[in-house]
Chain A
Amino acid sequence: MKKTQTQADHSNPVISIRGLKKAFQDYAVLRGIDLDLYQGENLVVLGRSGTGKSVLIKIISGLLKPDAGEITVLGHNMEQITEKELQELRVRIGFSFQNSALYDSMTVRKNLEFPLVRNRKGITRAEINTAVETVLDAVGLSQTINQMPSELSGGQRKRIGIARTLILNPEVMLYDEPTAGLDPITCIEINDLINEVQQRYNTSSIIITHDLTCAKQTGDRIAMLLDGQFQRTGTFDEVFDTDDSRVKPFYDYNFIH
Chain B
Amino acid sequence: MDTAESATTVKKNSKFKQSLINFFTDLYKINQFILRFFREAFVPPFELKEIVRQCFEVGVRSFTLISVTGFIVGVIFTKQSRPSLSEFGAQSWLPSLVSIAIMRALAPLVTALIASGKVGSSIGAELGSMRVTEQIDAMEVSGTKPFKFLVCTRVLATTLTIPILSTYTGLIAILGGYLNVSQNEGTSWSAFIQQVFEPLTFVDFVASLIKSIVFGFTIGIVGCYQGYNSTKGTEGVGKAANGAVVTAMFLVFIEEIIIVQITSWFR
Q: What residues make up the interface of A, taking CB atoms closer than 8 Å to B?
A: 58, 61-63, 87-88, 90-91, 93, 95, 97-99, 101-105, 114-115, 118-119, 164-165, 168
Contact = CB atoms under 8 A, between A and B. Distances in A.
A5 to B, nearest CB: 29
B133 A101 contact: yes
A98 B126 CA distance: 20
Nearest to B134: A101
A48 B166 CA distance: 55
B89 interface: no
A63 B126 CA distance: 21
Contacts of B145: 87
B223 to A, nearest CB: 16
Contacts of A63: 137, 140-141
Contacts of B130: 103-104
Interface string B135-165: 1011111111100000000000000000000
Nearest to B136: A101
Contacts of B137: 58, 63, 95, 97, 101
Q: Contact size class for B? A: 10 to 19
B133 A90 contact: no
A7 B140 CA distance: 32
A90 B135 contact: no
Contacts of A93: 141
Contacts of B139: 103, 114
Nearest to B47: A118
Contacts of B133: 99, 101, 104
A64 to B, nearest CB: 10
A87 B141 contact: no
Given A95-B141, A164-B142, 18 more contacts: A63-B140, A87-B143, A88-B143, A93-B141, A97-B134, A97-B137, A99-B133, A101-B133, A101-B134, A101-B135, A101-B137, A101-B138, A103-B130, A103-B135, A104-B130, A114-B144, A165-B142, A168-B143
Interface in B105-140: 126, 129-130, 133-135, 137-140
B141 A90 contact: yes
